[in-house]
A = this chain, B = another copy of it.
């Protein structure tokens, strides 16, 4: 499938079959995630792949919008302990979000379904997820991505809205053909 089709095909999938996701596919998702750009190429991202059913159950318990029964979860975390701390502190959410989006597009390309469940900046949720995943201090969970073979289908789509686009200055309508 070509890249644009795949971007449109990526939808939040919340129903999963029982079939486990093969390790080779998980690795491919991680390869895609780590192809994202990061500020000053600092790569503050860390990934916790959760496969153990008991740990998955504990994650489900603490995630208000992550109760779905997925056989795999990947938490994308930011490591603020590294090198140029001030840069990582400023940009880790953006870097880890770009990595997460790559991961979701790769999942769509590989026939998997996934949903991004937000954690940061909700302090109580960060603390609860950190406890389940045994994160050290200053490694912060941005999200938990639930993952599996999809048991629901959603049509490809964009939510493109030209009213959200300006030309040159905010509020000046951008229309195809006016520049």
Contact = CB atoms under 8 A, between A and B. Distances in A.
A152 interface: no
Given A3-B109, A97-B93, A168 B36 contact: no
Contacts of A77: 170
A85 B158 CA distance: 23
A28 B4 contact: yes
- How many copies the complex holds: the figure is 2
A142 B48 contact: no
Contact of A43 (B31, B121, B159): B159
Nearest to A117: B39
B174 A105 contact: no
A48 B4 contact: no
Contact of A12 (B37, B43, B167, B174): B37
B133 A3 contact: no
Q: Say whether chain A's binding surface is mostly helix, strand, loop, or mixed.
A: mixed
Contact of A166 (B8, B48, B174): B48
Contact of A159 (B4, B34, B133, B164): B34
Interface string A12-30: 1000000000011011101
A24 B169 contact: no
Given A35-B157, A158-B31, A122 B7 contact: no
Listed residue (A35, A98, A116) with the most chain B CB atoms within 10 angstroms of its CB: A35
B34 A164 contact: yes
B30 A106 contact: no
A165 interface: yes
A159 to B, nearest CB: 5
